[in-house]
């Protein structure tokens, strides 16, 4: 062995002996995950976990252990989807760390249905983005069209505004809930159908719920609200403090829930 190779071999041996050339211990995960509270992400109709990737990255950076859950929103009934969420939460969040939920659109309605029937004993806070909590007039108008149900499935057809619709059959929340919705409409057809201010799919009024802890309106559309950096900051703030930070930055004060006195 040449002197150069001998020195190299000795260097490796010394490094191994001192523990400098070892892989991280398998039983020690990154500190932000080991100590982090759980956040379950639920995407909207006809979407996938990819739609929530931006929020997933932001929440992981904030120290949360994120479960970005996918579900077949266009192929199953509400009961089947709720059962799927229940199984996933039972599998992923077994210890006593708090379990928060952050949802977009349909994911919020399904979370309400899930928490009304079954909930983790260590339930934390819930943030919903653009949820059709009282249904959408778009479903009232197009839900009976055969192509609507064929493309969007059996659950979407139950998201109308009538009293027997899926969102209107679920009672008010008895947990800490923050709701963010948009008021930017990019589709002139939906703007014509929806009443009042809306985000192109859900009216500002329909997004609100009696009993919510805080409410915030931002200038964003239904689809893009989940990717808005300011919205991401507000999500993290609510999970930590139970309220949104400085809603006046959007130039619009928090709105009162439907039925509240002026």
Residue 147 — pLDDT band, cuts 50, 70, 90? Answer: confident
Query: Does 166 have pLDDT greater than 70?
Result: yes
Query: Does 162 have pLDDT greater than 80?
Result: yes
Q: How far is CA 232 from CA 1, 5, 53, 175, 251, in A?
A: 59, 54, 11, 21, 18
Identify whether 47 is part of a domain.
yes
Query: Does 255 have pLDDT greater than 80?
Result: no
Query: Does 172 have pLDDT greater than 60?
Result: yes
Q: Are 70 and 77 in contact (CB under 8 A)?
A: no
Task: Tell me the residue range of the domain where 237 lies.
Answer: 36-250
Identify whether 170 is part of a domain.
yes
Reference 68, options 91, 105, 89, 42; nearest CA is: 42
Q: How far is CA 68 from CA 25, 43, 118, in A?
A: 25, 8, 19
Identify whether 129 is part of a domain.
yes
> How do residues 60-69 score in pLDDT, each as one tens digit?
999 999 999 9
Residue 144 — pLDDT band, cuts 50, 70, 90? Answer: confident
Query: Does 124 have pLDDT greater than 90?
Result: yes
What is the pTM assigned to this prediction?
0.80
Percent over 70 (pLDDT), the chain:
80
> How do residues 231-243 score in pLDDT, each as one tens digit?
999 999 999 999 9
Instruction: Count other C-beta atoms under 10 Å from residue 239's C-beta.
Output: 23
pLDDT at residue 36, as a whole number: 85
Q: How far is CA 138 from CA 60, 182, 223, 232, in A?
A: 35, 16, 15, 27
Identify whether 85 is part of a domain.
yes
> How do residues 173-211 score in pLDDT, each as one tens digit?
999 999 999 999 887 777 788 888 999 999 999 999 999
Query: Does 129 have pLDDT greater than 70?
Result: yes
Interval 61-87 mean pLDDT: 95
Higher-pLDDT residue of 102, 94: 102
Interval 83-90 mean pLDDT: 94
Identify whether 238 is part of a domain.
yes
Identify whether 245 is part of a domain.
yes
Identify whether 25 is part of a domain.
no
- Mapped onto helix, strand or coil, the DSSP state of residue 37 is coil
Q: What is the CATH number of the domain that holds 148?
A: 3.40.50.1820
Identify whether 20 is part of a domain.
no
Percent over 90 (pLDDT), the chain:
68
- Sign of the dihedral through C-alpha 173, 177, 183, 189: negative
pLDDT at residue 158, as a whole number: 92
Count of domains forming the chain: 1
pLDDT at residue 246, as a whole number: 65
């Amino acid at each position: 062995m040449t002197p150069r190779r001998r020195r190299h071999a000795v260097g490796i041996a010394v490094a191994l002996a001192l523990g400098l050339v070892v892989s991280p211990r398998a039983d020690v995960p990154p500190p932000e995950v080991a100590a982090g509270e759980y956040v379950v992400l639920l995407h909207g109709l006809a979407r996938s976990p990819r739609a929530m990737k931006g929020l997933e990255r932001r929440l992981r950076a904030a120290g949360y252990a994120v479960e970005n859950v996918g579900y077949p929103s266009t192929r199953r009934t509400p009961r089947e989807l709720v059962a799927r969420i229940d199984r996933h939460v039972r599998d992923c969040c077994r210890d006593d760390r708090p379990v928060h939920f952050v949802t977009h659109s349909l994911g919020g309605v399904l979370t309400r249905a899930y928490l009304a029937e079954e909930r983790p004993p260590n339930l934390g806070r819930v943030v919903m983005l653009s949820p059709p909590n009282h249904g959408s007039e778009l479903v009232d108008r197009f839900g009976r069209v055969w192509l609507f149900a064929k493309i969007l499935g059996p659950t979407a057809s139950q998201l109308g505004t009538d009293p027997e619709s899926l969102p209107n059959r679920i009672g008010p929340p008895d947990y800490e809930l923050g709701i963010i919705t948009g008021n930017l409409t990019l589709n002139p057809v939906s703007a014509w159908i929806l009443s009042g201010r809306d985000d192109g799919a859900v009216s500002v009024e329909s997004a609100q719920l009696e009993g919510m802890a805080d409410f915030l309106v931002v200038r964003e559309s239904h689809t893009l609200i989940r990717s808005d950096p300011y919205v991401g900051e507000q999500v993290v703030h609510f999970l930590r403090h139970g309220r949104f930070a400085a809603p006046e930055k959007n130039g619009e004060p928090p709105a009162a829930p439907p039925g509240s006195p002026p």
